[in-house]
Amino acid sequence: MRLLVIEDEDDLRASLALALRDSGYAVDLAADGGEGLYKAGNSDYDAIVLDVMLPRLDGWELLRQLRLTRQTPVLLLTARDAPKDRVRGLDTGADDYLVKPFNLDELRARLRALIRRTAGRAGNVIVIGTVALDTAARMVRRDGRPVALTAREYFLVEYLALHQGQVVTRTALYEHLFDEDDNTFSNLLDVHVSNVRKKLGAEFIVTDRGHGYRIP
Amino acid sequence: MKPFRSIRWRLQFWHAMLLAAVLAGLVVTGHRLRRTEIFHETDQQLGQRLDPVAALFRPARPPPPPGGPGGRGGPGLPPNPSPLPRGLAALPPGTENLFAATSGDGFYFVAWNRNAVELARSASAPAGVPLPDDTEDAPAARMRGTLREVYRFLPSGECVLAGCDLREQLAGLARFGWLLGGTGLVIFACGLAGGWWITDRALQPLAEISSTAGRIARGDLSQRIQLAETDDELGEMAGVLNETFDRLEANFARQARFTADASHELRTPLTILLTQTQAMLARERSPEEYRASLAACERAARRMRRLVESLLALARLDSGDAAARREPCDLAAIADETVELLRPLAEEAKITLRADLAPAACFGDPDRLAQVVTNLVGNAIQHNRPGGEVTVKAGRRDQQVFVTVADTGPGIAGVDLPHIFERFYRADKVRAGASGRTGLGLAITQAIVESHDGTLEVSSEVGRGSVFTATFPAARPGE
């Protein structure tokens, strides 16, 4: 799962990146509205965390321009908690908002829900055959027994599970699992897929030669 | 409010009292007048009728010889009461009917001799008319029940009395009295109702004002007094009150916005503190990570401290206790000191700092005046281009001393110019960050200047730079 954090406060941006990377997300950063809009428009993020008060191009305008081309889910961070500010945010096309100061746990929970909703799932648990994914607890069970997955492996499974039945290209997977600073070799993806197959069964992920991966 | 303490009741009470007194006076006077009139008329009629009766006993025949024994009761009048017909028959012609029992007027007469023996009486006279008490020669009148009697003692000692029954007139007078009283009551009721209506109309605006003020007191500051008539005194008052409410609401809104802004400004460093500490506590970190995080926390805390200090400074200036310290000081010396203090900052920013200072004696708090110069010069350094200049001038002009700070920065756009002294207003919309700006600097500067009875002005040209001028009253020589 890949996120974009657009925040002009250096210290806040750094701590958000740290916390979200800790949770296994691939996190890209932008320090102002222009950079943020550019990145948001040119990559396929699973969600964007957007501060409203930004120099040059503020959050509202960024959101308006982004919505012309992309429907990436956006979570607004705002210091203004008046109802009219919330309404304005949601009307402009934000999918959720969080008022400063917030708890990191709440931010994570809202991001999870946002990503899940975007994939068209309302519930926490995705069941595929004998495998059950609890997206809230980041827990995968096979035949009722917990299976230990690394954060990357978990996101690989979650991304494919959220797009169950569709072929997900390697590029897309790569985009969603690694951030812009990752210089990993592309065969790392194969390593993750292979590990998941070992843990959840060889047939859990199907390879479509020349196209990508798919959970049937 | 107790009903009898209210203006309405007091007005009504006095109004009713006054009206009742006036009406009672009118009714009583009217009644008296009518009664007097009745008596007067009756007495006149009785007097007219008494004359012929009295004439009977006047010595029409030659009076008794002066030497005769007992001038009175001479031979013309027998000592014994004469029979009635005799007296009646003697009434002058044309006057017989005056006392006719059948005339319906109820007039009668009675005559007594000096010995109180009844001499004559008309047929219509009621039984048992008592002899009146002797009076002077003048005719007198008395009331006996419903009977009005006028009598006269003749010089010869006889007493003649004419009377009539006033039953009907008195009944009429009573009716007239009732009519007067009834009319008075009706007028009183109308007066009360009218008074009530007028008081009600007069006090209606007061009720509206009171209820509006009540709604405002309960927190709805947008309420205004709506009066139909605005030309009278209460309308004028409502106008004044509405203006007051307008200003109150504007002040309140400004204060509320300031509080909201202040809390927003505090939210960002708070968020940094929270997210940093939560992220650090989530799991074991390397010493470098801890150090970086603590440094970030410190920056956030410093920022909150700056903000809180600025807010406190503003609060003190707002409450007016900044005016406490006043001493003679030289604005030029203060500016010189400040410029030297800020010179390293200017050099770091590659800014040339020039000073052109002439003595400028004024009266004030040197620390706060230094803060004014510091804020203006600090701003000028911050909002400048690399290699730019900041020029500080001080001096005296007429009865004023001034300090101006000019920069060669980007200038301030016309739309922003009127707002730059507002709290938390930022022309570039950049939030106060690690740069140390709180968005309150110019607001504080202006508050200090104004607390010194001075003015702070700005002129700016986009692309050329801005000039801030603070002007204060000069100290008079000898001060």
Number of domains forming the structure of chain A: 2
Give the residue numbers spanning the domain of B359: 326-473
A·B CB contacts under 8 A: 73
How close A36 comes to chain B (CA, Å)?
16
Do the chains contact at A101 and B267, CB–CB below 8 Å? yes
What is the rounded CA–CA span in Å between residue A195 and residue A147?
12
Q: Are residues A166 and A129 in the same domain?
A: yes
Q: Are residues B196 and B252 in the same domain?
A: no
Q: Are residues A185 and A94 in the same domain?
A: no
Q: For the whole model, what pTM was predicted?
A: 0.58
Q: Are residues B248 and B155 in the same domain?
A: no
Q: Which residue in B has a C-alpha nearest to residue A51's C-alpha?
A: B268
Cα Rg of chain A, angstroms: 18
Do the chains contact at A11 and B300, CB–CB below 8 Å? yes
Do the chains contact at B275 and A58, CB–CB below 8 Å? no
Do the chains contact at B268 and A15, CB–CB below 8 Å? no
Amino acid found at A175: E
Q: Are residues B265 and B405 in the same domain?
A: no
Give the residue numbers spanning the domain of A137: 125-214
Q: Is B428 on the interface with A (CB under 8 A)?
A: yes
Q: Which CATH number belongs to the domain containing residue A82 in this structure? A: 3.40.50.2300
Do the chains contact at A55 and B428, CB–CB below 8 Å? yes
B69 domain-assigned: no
Residue range B10-34, pLDDT digits in tens: 888 888 999 999 999 999 999 999 9
Q: Are residues A7 and A30 in the same domain?
A: yes
Last residue of a domain, one of B282, B316, B350: B316
Does an H or E element contain B153, and which? strand B147-153
Amino acid found at B86: R
Using H for helix, E for strand and C for coil, what is the string for A157-209? HHHHHHCCCCCEEHHHHHHHHCCCCCCCCCHHHHHHHHHHHHHHCCCCCEEEC
Residue B433 is nearest to which of A9, A22, A80, comparing CB atoms?
A: A9
Residue B268 is nearest to which of A9, A15, A19, comparing CB atoms?
A: A9
Q: Are residues B268 and B306 in the same domain?
A: yes
Q: Are residues B362 and B443 in the same domain?
A: yes
Do the chains contact at A15 and B275, CB–CB below 8 Å? yes
Do the chains contact at B275 and A8, CB–CB below 8 Å? no
Residues of A in contact with B428 (CB under 8 A): 55
Give pLDDT tens digits along chain B (479 positions): 566 678 888 888 888 999 999 999 999 999 999 989 988 988 888 888 888 777 777 655 544 444 444 444 444 444 444 444 444 445 666 666 667 655 556 788 888 887 878 887 777 788 778 888 776 666 788 888 888 888 888 877 788 888 888 888 889 889 999 999 999 999 999 988 998 888 888 888 888 888 888 888 888 888 888 877 767 788 888 888 889 888 888 888 878 878 877 887 888 889 999 999 998 988 888 999 899 999 999 999 998 998 888 888 888 887 776 556 788 889 999 999 999 988 988 888 888 998 899 988 888 888 889 989 999 998 888 888 888 899 999 999 888 999 999 998 888 888 888 888 888 776 665 544 445 567 788 888 988 888 888 999 998 888 888 999 999 998 876 54
Number of domains forming the structure of chain B: 3
Q: Is A14 on the interface with B (CB under 8 A)?
A: yes
Place of tokens 């009518």: B34
Q: Are residues A15 and A79 in the same domain?
A: yes
**Token code pair at residue B457:** 């002005």
Q: Which CATH number belongs to the domain containing residue A179 in this structure? A: 1.10.10.10
Q: Are residues A19 and A74 in the same domain?
A: yes
Q: Are residues B44 and B13 in the same domain?
A: yes
Give the pLDDT of residue B154: 80
Give the pLDDT of residue B477: 64
CA angle B86, B91, B93 (to 5 degrees): 130
B75 domain-assigned: no
Query: What ipTM describes this predicted complex?
Result: 0.74
Last residue of a domain, one of A72, A95, A118: A118
Do the chains contact at A104 and B274, CB–CB below 8 Å? yes
Q: Is B257 on the interface with A (CB under 8 A)?
A: no
Residues of B in contact with A80 (CB under 8 A): 260, 264
Q: Are residues B166 and B205 in the same domain?
A: yes
Residue range A103-161, pLDDT digits in tens: 888 999 999 888 888 877 767 788 888 888 888 778 888 888 888 888 888 888 888 88
